[in-house]
Structures are given as structure tokens and as C-alpha cells.
């Protein structure tokens, strides 16, 4: 099955710093998504990308869908303590029956005030 | 708008016992998913329903896991008998459309098998 390689596994940063994380795959995806999970909660969708090359922002978050359709990155600018959590990338292969959303292993973000 | 509801939040059982988890999706969402999330890993799809029909259960260990969504609304996931390696958070999610990655997750049910 498809596998997503997410890096880095963990990040320890100071409040106010910018953060960048990425996700790569050996398979092509039609949709890339980024979720955030806080302790004791389910993942929450942050950004969805539907077109190769697409760059989308949501407040301090910016994500891009790679031109090759095999990668995506997420940037967080001017980090704040509430950005702490695990960030998951997810890829959806195609809009057809049986296509399954695949999650990466996550990037654990710690922000020191 | 009410979110995805799951219960129980926590369950501790001994191996070989059985357990059941319940999920009520967001109203109007036809697609319902059960994911297993082992500590330190991303969620892994166990089963996907479209209304009351199964779309994908290829990763469901059918010798011990079962799930149903009889009336096309709420769903139950059962494990019988449980093994130590079933210790995980079981996440239910729903979406409005079938072929979308835009999922709304519940808080999850944390299972510990001793």
C-alpha cells in the first residue's frame, strides 16, 4: 500500500520561530491534506490541497501541493504555544471507489514560550 | 453543529475479552470511518461505510474485528477476542462526501488490553 514519509519526526522550537515540515511519497496523490492532533483529541483538518503546485494559506499556516504530486510541505510562521501538537500529512490517491486516505507518521511540535 | 460523538472514552480489558465502541457521526454525513491509531503512529483505516454499506474493509482483521452501521447513521466497532496488540485509540470519523479526505474526527476511544 501507499506510504507517506513525514519529516522531521519531532521539532523543538522557541515561540516566534517559523516551522517547516514535509511529506513525501513514492505514489502520486490527487489530494494532500494536513491535520493537527492535540493530546486526547482526534485529528483536526488544517488545510486541503487539490491541485499540483497549489499554495494555500490558513492564517499563519501555508501548505503546498508538490508539482510531482508526490510531496507536500506545511509552514507555520511566528509559532505560538498553542501550535503544540502532532501534525499529520495525509494523501488521497484518486476520487474513485476504494481509494483510501493514507496518513503519515506525524511530526511532534513543541513550542517553548 | 454537534461533532462526531464516541463512547466510551477509555476502556481497559484483559486479553481474550471483548469490547465494543460506539460512534455517532455528524448529522447528514453519509460516510463513516473507523481508524486505529497505535501510540506514536498515524491513523490507519479499519473500515469505511457509505450509508449502511461497506466501501473498504481490506485492513480490518476480520477474524476478531467487526463493525456495523445498520441504519446508516451510528456505528459500532467490536473486538472479540482482544489481543495485547489491539491496545490503541480507535477513532471514528465522518465526511459529507465519499471521495474526500476532509474528515471530521471524534475524540477517540482509548483501549488498553492487559
The DSSP bridge partners found for residue B38 are none
pLDDT at B33 over 80: yes
Interfacial residues of B (vs A; Cβ cutoff 8 Å): 4, 40-45, 48, 55-56, 91, 93, 98-108
pLDDT at A69: 92
Match 492532533 to its residue by C-alpha cell: A37
Taking only residues 51 to 70 of chain A, the set having a beta carbon closer than 8 angstroms to any beta carbon of chain B reads: none
Q: Which one of B91, B101, B104 has the shortest CB-CB distance to A90?
A: B101
Phi (first) and psi of residue A82, to 5 degrees = -75, 0
Report residue B70 CA to chain centroid gap.
Answer: 14
Which residue has better confidence, A26 or B113?
B113
CA of B99: which chain A residue's CA is closest?
A95
CA of A95: which chain B residue's CA is closest?
B99
- pLDDT tens-digit readout, B87-113: 999 999 999 877 778 999 999 999 999
Distances in whole angstroms, Cα of residue B101 to Cα of each of A28, A30, A109: 15, 10, 23
pLDDT at A96 over 60: no
- pLDDT tens-digit readout, A44-65: 999 999 999 999 999 999 999 9
- pLDDT tens-digit readout, B42-76: 999 999 999 889 989 999 999 999 999 988 899 99
Pairwise CA distance, residues B112 & B39, whole Å = 11
- pLDDT tens-digit readout, A31-48: 999 999 999 999 999 999
Answer whether B102 sits within 8 Å of A33, measured CB to CB.
Answer: yes
Distances in whole angstroms, Cα of residue A75 to Cα of each of A60, A61, B87: 8, 6, 33
Q: Which one of A40, A97, A101 has the shortest CB-CB distance to B107?
A: A40
Q: Which one of A31, A33, A97 has the shortest CB-CB distance to B55?
A: A97
| DSSP 8-state code for residue A64 | E
| DSSP 8-state code for residue B64 | T
pLDDT confidence tier of residue A97, bands split at 50, 70 and 90:
very low
Answer whether A101 sits within 8 Å of B55, measured CB to CB.
Answer: no
Q: Nearest-CA neighbor of A48 among A1, A94, A92? A: A92
Q: Nearest-CA neighbor of B26 among B111, B107, B106? A: B106
B44 to chain A: which residues are within 8 Å by CB?
A: 103
Pairing state of beta strands B19-24 and B10-13?
Answer: unpaired
pLDDT at B100: 76
Pairwise CA distance, residues B65 & B57, whole Å = 10
Report residue B103 CA to chain centroid gap.
Answer: 13
Amino acid at each position: 500500500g501507499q506510504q507517506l514519509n513525514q519529516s522531521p519526526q519531532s521539532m523543538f522550537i522557541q515561540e516566534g520561530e517559523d516551522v517547516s515540515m514535509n511529506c513525501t511519497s513514492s505514489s502520486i496523490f490527487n489530494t494532500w491534506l494536513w491535520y493537527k492532533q492535540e493530546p486526547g483529541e482526534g485529528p483536526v483538518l488544517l488545510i486541503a490541497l487539490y491541485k499540483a503546485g497549489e499554495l494555500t494559506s490558513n492564517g499563519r499556516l501555508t501548505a503546498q501541493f508538490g508539482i510531482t504530486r508526490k510531496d507536500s510541505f506545511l509552514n507555520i510562521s511566528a509559532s505560538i504555544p498553542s501550535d503544540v501538537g502532532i501534525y499529520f500529512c495525509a494523501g488521497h490517491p484518486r476520487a474513485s471507489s476504494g481509494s483510501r486516505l493514507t496518513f503519515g507518521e506525524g511530526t511532534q511540535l513543541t513550542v517553548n514560550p | 453543529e454537534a461533532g462526531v460523538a464516541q463512547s466510551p472514552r477509555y476502556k481497559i480489558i484483559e486479553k481474550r475479552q471483548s469490547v465494543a465502541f460506539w460512534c455517532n457521526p455528524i448529522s447528514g454525513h453519509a460516510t463513516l470511518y473507523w481508524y486505529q491509531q497505535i501510540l506514536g503512529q498515524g491513523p490507519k483505516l479499519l473500515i469505511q461505510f457509505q450509508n449502511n454499506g461497506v466501501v473498504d474493509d481490506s485492513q480490518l482483521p476480520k477474524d476478531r474485528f467487526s463493525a456495523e452501521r445498520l441504519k446508516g447513521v451510528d456505528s459500532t466497532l467490536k473486538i472479540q477476542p482482544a489481543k495485547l496488540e489491539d491496545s490503541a485509540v480507535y477513532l471514528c470519523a465522518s465526511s459529507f462526501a465519499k471521495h474526500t479526505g476532509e474528515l471530521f474526527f471524534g475524540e477517540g476511544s482509548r483501549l488498553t488490553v492487559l
